[in-house]
Amino acid sequence: MHIEILSEHGIEEAAYGAMVAYKADKLPSLNDLKELAFRPPNNAFLKDIFVWVSIDMPKWWWEQFDNFDDFKETGEHESQIELHHRVFPISYFDLQHLFINKDRFRTYEWTAFFNKVRVSVQFPVFLEKGN
Protein backbone atom coordinates (compact mmCIF):
# COMPACT_ATOMS: atom_id res chain seq x y z
CA MET A 1 0.00 0.00 0.00
CA HIS A 2 1.37 3.39 -1.01
CA ILE A 3 -0.27 6.83 -1.06
CA GLU A 4 1.61 9.90 -2.25
CA ILE A 5 0.49 13.43 -3.06
CA LEU A 6 2.44 14.42 -6.17
CA SER A 7 1.24 18.00 -6.68
CA GLU A 8 -1.65 20.43 -6.31
CA HIS A 9 -2.91 22.95 -8.82
CA GLY A 10 -5.64 25.54 -9.15
CA ILE A 11 -5.97 27.45 -5.89
CA GLU A 12 -5.15 30.80 -7.49
CA GLU A 13 -7.52 30.17 -10.37
CA ALA A 14 -10.27 29.00 -8.02
CA ALA A 15 -9.85 32.10 -5.85
CA TYR A 16 -9.97 34.31 -8.95
CA GLY A 17 -13.13 32.53 -10.12
CA ALA A 18 -14.73 33.10 -6.70
CA MET A 19 -13.79 36.78 -6.89
CA VAL A 20 -15.45 37.11 -10.30
CA ALA A 21 -18.52 35.11 -9.22
CA TYR A 22 -19.08 37.33 -6.18
CA LYS A 23 -18.14 40.53 -8.02
CA ALA A 24 -15.55 41.27 -5.34
CA ASP A 25 -12.79 43.87 -5.62
CA LYS A 26 -10.03 41.58 -4.36
CA LEU A 27 -9.16 37.92 -4.18
CA PRO A 28 -10.84 36.09 -1.31
CA SER A 29 -8.61 35.12 1.61
CA LEU A 30 -8.09 31.54 2.71
CA ASN A 31 -10.56 32.22 5.55
CA ASP A 32 -13.14 33.49 3.05
CA LEU A 33 -12.71 30.34 0.95
CA LYS A 34 -12.86 28.15 4.06
CA GLU A 35 -16.25 29.71 4.90
CA LEU A 36 -17.54 28.89 1.40
CA ALA A 37 -16.07 25.37 1.31
CA PHE A 38 -18.96 23.76 3.22
CA ARG A 39 -21.86 25.76 1.74
CA PRO A 40 -23.18 24.31 -1.51
CA PRO A 41 -23.41 25.71 -4.16
CA ASN A 42 -20.82 28.24 -2.97
CA ASN A 43 -18.24 25.46 -2.71
CA ALA A 44 -18.11 25.01 -6.50
CA PHE A 45 -14.62 26.57 -6.49
CA LEU A 46 -13.37 23.27 -4.98
CA LYS A 47 -14.00 21.63 -8.37
CA ASP A 48 -11.16 23.77 -9.78
CA ILE A 49 -8.44 22.74 -7.30
CA PHE A 50 -6.80 19.43 -8.15
CA VAL A 51 -4.52 17.06 -6.28
CA TRP A 52 -2.42 14.61 -8.27
CA VAL A 53 -2.00 11.37 -6.34
CA SER A 54 -0.09 8.13 -6.74
CA ILE A 55 -1.77 5.21 -5.00
CA ASP A 56 -1.12 1.47 -4.71
CA MET A 57 -4.10 -0.34 -3.23
CA PRO A 58 -5.79 -3.73 -3.54
CA LYS A 59 -8.40 -4.27 -6.25
CA TRP A 60 -11.29 -4.23 -3.73
CA TRP A 61 -10.24 -0.74 -2.57
CA TRP A 62 -10.27 0.58 -6.14
CA GLU A 63 -13.72 -0.93 -6.69
CA GLN A 64 -15.00 0.96 -3.65
CA PHE A 65 -13.22 4.15 -4.74
CA ASP A 66 -14.56 3.95 -8.30
CA ASN A 67 -18.11 3.21 -7.14
CA PHE A 68 -18.19 5.41 -4.06
CA ASP A 69 -21.81 6.50 -4.39
CA ASP A 70 -22.95 2.90 -4.89
CA PHE A 71 -20.64 1.47 -2.22
CA LYS A 72 -21.64 -1.79 -0.58
CA GLU A 73 -19.34 -3.58 1.86
CA THR A 74 -18.82 -7.13 0.65
CA GLY A 75 -16.24 -8.41 3.11
CA GLU A 76 -14.28 -9.93 0.22
CA HIS A 77 -11.30 -7.60 0.54
CA GLU A 78 -9.16 -9.91 2.65
CA SER A 79 -8.55 -12.35 -0.21
CA GLN A 80 -7.58 -9.63 -2.70
CA ILE A 81 -4.04 -8.64 -1.74
CA GLU A 82 -2.49 -7.85 -5.13
CA LEU A 83 -1.84 -4.10 -5.32
CA HIS A 84 -2.91 -2.00 -8.29
CA HIS A 85 -1.17 1.30 -9.01
CA ARG A 86 -2.78 4.47 -10.36
CA VAL A 87 -1.67 8.06 -10.80
CA PHE A 88 -4.57 10.47 -11.27
CA PRO A 89 -6.00 13.90 -10.42
CA ILE A 90 -8.85 14.35 -7.99
CA SER A 91 -10.56 17.62 -7.11
CA TYR A 92 -10.90 18.98 -3.61
CA PHE A 93 -14.65 18.81 -4.23
CA ASP A 94 -14.46 15.03 -4.67
CA LEU A 95 -12.01 14.64 -1.78
CA GLN A 96 -14.38 16.59 0.47
CA HIS A 97 -17.21 14.26 -0.57
CA LEU A 98 -15.09 11.27 0.47
CA PHE A 99 -14.13 12.88 3.79
CA ILE A 100 -17.72 13.83 4.63
CA ASN A 101 -18.71 10.18 4.14
CA LYS A 102 -15.58 8.57 5.57
CA ASP A 103 -17.51 6.78 8.32
CA ARG A 104 -18.72 4.37 5.63
CA PHE A 105 -15.14 3.12 5.23
CA ARG A 106 -13.62 1.45 8.27
CA THR A 107 -10.80 -0.66 6.89
CA TYR A 108 -7.12 -0.08 7.59
CA GLU A 109 -6.55 0.91 3.95
CA TRP A 110 -9.24 3.58 3.97
CA THR A 111 -8.04 4.94 7.31
CA ALA A 112 -4.51 5.16 5.90
CA PHE A 113 -5.83 6.96 2.82
CA PHE A 114 -7.73 9.58 4.84
CA ASN A 115 -4.84 10.11 7.26
CA LYS A 116 -2.25 10.50 4.49
CA VAL A 117 -4.40 12.91 2.49
CA ARG A 118 -5.25 14.96 5.60
CA VAL A 119 -1.60 15.55 6.50
CA SER A 120 -0.26 15.87 2.94
CA VAL A 121 -2.55 18.28 1.08
CA GLN A 122 -1.94 22.02 1.15
CA PHE A 123 -5.50 22.93 2.19
CA PRO A 124 -6.91 20.36 4.63
CA VAL A 125 -9.32 23.06 5.86
CA PHE A 126 -11.40 22.38 2.72
CA LEU A 127 -11.84 18.68 3.54
CA GLU A 128 -13.34 18.58 7.03
CA LYS A 129 -15.20 21.07 9.15
CA GLY A 130 -13.27 22.14 12.20
CA ASN A 131 -9.80 22.07 10.59
* DSSP category for residue 93: H
Main-chain phi, psi angles of 83, to 5 degrees: -85, 145
Buried b (16+ CB within 10 A) or exposed e, 64-73: bbeeeeeeee
Q: Which residues contact 7 (CB under 8 A, 6 or more apart)?
A: 51, 52
DSSP 38: T
Check residue 129 and give its pLDDT. Answer: 86
Residue 77 pLDDT: 57
Q: Where in the chain are the domains? A: 2-126
Please, what's the largest Cα pairwise distance for the chain? 57
- Is the torsion defined by CA of 74, 2, 128, 41 positive or negative? negative
Other CB atoms within 10 A of residue 100 CB: 13
The per-residue pLDDT string of the chain (131 residues; one tens digit each, 9 = 90 and over) reads: 999 999 999 999 999 999 999 899 999 999 999 999 999 999 999 999 999 999 999 998 998 898 876 655 555 555 567 899 999 999 999 999 999 999 988 899 999 999 999 999 999 999 998 76
